[in-house]
Amino acid sequence: MTESLDIQTRLLHHRHKTDPHNGAVSVGVQHASTFHQNSLEQFGAYDYARSGNPTREALEEIFAGLENGTDAFAFASGMAAISTTFMLLSSGDHLVITEDVYGGTFRMTTEVLTRLGIEHTFVDMTRVDEVKATLQDNTKMIFMETPSNPTMKITPIRDIVALAEAHDCLTVLDNTFMTPVLQRPLDLGVDIVVHSATKFIGGHSDVVSGLAVVKRPDLAGRLGFLQNSFGAIPGPDDCWLIMRGLKTLHTRMMVSQEVASNLAHWLDVQPEVKRVYYPGFSDQLGNAIHAGQSDGPGAVLSFELADREAVSRFSQAVEIPVFAVSLGAVESILSYPAKMSHAAMPDHERVARGITDGLLRLSVGLESEADLKRDFRQAFDSLARM
């Protein structure tokens, strides 16, 4: 029956909604690092907590269902989920990866995978012909992130999946910006969905965690093996915080998305703003594709001011959003990609990707739209006093 329910209901009603032993309406936090075995012949369901922990397992089961997958794997961070997924590759393999990928994924690819003999090619993932041209005999994985960070470029997921299928290579998609509430890549044929659960999924700026989800049994086996081998697992308290966050995920996404959409249109007509990037703008390249593969534009937008000085002034003057690395929280978060999420990227690479010194990213939280607009307006007014 749960299969047919809407996602907002499935966030709350699943196998783990009550404890079978005591009826508790919250998953128990199991701190044990090891589990007593009755005999040499008969091991229980758990032996050692890196390999399996009931609290983590509850999170993994709940989350697999939300992405319409069969198996999910929880990790100590989004980067741990991504890095462990990269361990599916071997020396001599080639990775095709979107050029405006998250800064940490860029760093892992260019500075770690290269050292392990795994080649890569960065590509404009919005251009299917260009992606096709980068495929080599040893290409084993295509890594997507859509909408991309922070310029909100849209990858045509179905087209890339078709290319990968013809080439017999894996597809991975970083779904952090959308969450399963707005985009379910496994349904579109993607093999592995990865997340930073630190963002919208946790949602309260109080936990660092990651997830990977699959629906192919062979991949479930290989990723489960790597999760245990690599060992970058989250602790039970963090798993509990993520499950707590999930309960309000749909509600938070809907409210934040609506305010983000209204703010994006408002920012677009403020004279101090040169440009706004938001997947909800119907006239922006790729956004029609986004509408056909997701259930909404999300709650993150970017906007460009004149230069670094304007950004500096604006970020000092603005009062409501926290000025910080990260996104996807109940409080709005303003960040400066050039020095935050993309600090790991060399300047020329960064500017070539449109991540200029004037670009700010805004993740909209749950504040009142009117308050945010008033605050932004007074901060823009301060620019005139430069």
Ligand X SMILES: *Cc1c(COP(=O)(O)O)cnc(C)c1O
Site for ligand X in 24-83 (CB under 6 A): 77-79
Binder of ligand X out of 196, 294, 335, 356 (CB under 6 A): 196
- Enter the DSSP assignment of 234: P
Residue 102 designated active-site: yes
- SS3 label, residue 235: coil
Q: Interface with ligand X includes 302 (CB under 6 A)?
A: no
- DSSP β-ladder status, 192-196 and 170-174: parallel
Which run of H or of E encompasses 137?
Answer: none
Report, in Å, the least distance between residue 31 CB and ligand X: 22
Q: How far is 96 from 115, CA to CA, in rounded Å?
A: 17
Residue 268 CB coordination number (10 Å): 14
Q: How far is 44 from 228, CA to CA, in rounded Å?
A: 17
How many residues bind ligand X (CB under 6 A)? The answer is 14
Report, in Å, the least distance between residue 227 CB and ligand X: 15
Binder of ligand X out of 10, 94, 140, 199 (CB under 6 A): 199
Task: Indicate if the alpha-carbon torsion angle 167, 168, 174, 177 is positive or negative.
Answer: positive
Q: Interface with ligand X includes 235 (CB under 6 A)?
A: no
| Binding piece for ligand X, criterion CB under 6 A, among 13-21, 37-45, 192-200, 371-379 | 192-200
Q: Identity (one letter) of the amino acid at 138?
A: N
Residues 318, 319, 324: CA angle, nearest 5 degrees: 80
Q: At what angle do helices 217-230 and 78-86 cross, to 10 degrees?
A: 110
Binder of ligand X out of 102, 143, 281, 303 (CB under 6 A): 102
Which of 67/272 has CB closer to ligand X? 67
Report, in Å, the least distance between residue 208 CB and ligand X: 5
Which of 170/232 has CB closer to ligand X? 232
CB-closest chain residue to ligand X: 78
Q: Quick check: 72 and 213 in contact, CB under 8 A?
A: yes
Report, in Å, the least distance between residue 8 CB and ligand X: 23
Rounded to the nearest angstrom, the gap between the alpha carbon of residue 10 and the centroid of all alpha carbons in its chain is 20
Report, in Å, the least distance between residue 6 CB and ligand X: 26
Q: Interface with ligand X includes 335 (CB under 6 A)?
A: no
Token digits for 222?
């290989």
Residue 50 designated active-site: yes
Q: How far is 287 from 302, CA to CA, in rounded Å?
A: 15
Residue 174 designated active-site: yes
Active-site hit among 71, 174, 191, 357: 174
Report, in Å, the least distance between residue 349 CB and ligand X: 17
Binder of ligand X out of 67, 93, 174, 357 (CB under 6 A): 174
Active-site hit among 56, 153, 199, 353: 199
Single out the residue of 319, 102, 360, 326 nearest to residue 205, CA to CA: 326
Site for ligand X in 132-171 (CB under 6 A): 145, 149
Q: How far is 161 from 145, CA to CA, in rounded Å?
A: 13
Q: Interface with ligand X includes 98 (CB under 6 A)?
A: no
Single out the residue of 249, 358, 369, 254 nearest to residue 310, CA to CA: 358
CB within 8 Å of 319: residues ≥ 6 apart: 375, 378, 379
Residue 308 designated active-site: no
Binder of ligand X out of 198, 261, 287, 332 (CB under 6 A): 198
Report, in Å, the least distance between residue 200 CB and ligand X: 10
Active-site hit among 50, 107, 132, 274: 50
Report, in Å, the least distance between residue 195 CB and ligand X: 8
Q: Interface with ligand X includes 85 (CB under 6 A)?
A: no
Binder of ligand X out of 14, 50, 52, 104 (CB under 6 A): 104
Which of 199/215 has CB closer to ligand X? 199
- SS3 label, residue 284: coil
CB within 8 Å of 354: residues ≥ 6 apart: 100, 151
Active-site hit among 10, 102, 140, 153: 102
The stretches of 94-215 forming alpha helices (DSSP H) are: 103-107, 128-134, 157-167, 179-182
What residue ranges bind ligand X (CB under 6 A)? 77-79, 102, 104, 145, 149, 174, 176, 196, 198-199, 208, 210
State the catalytic residues: 50, 102, 174, 199
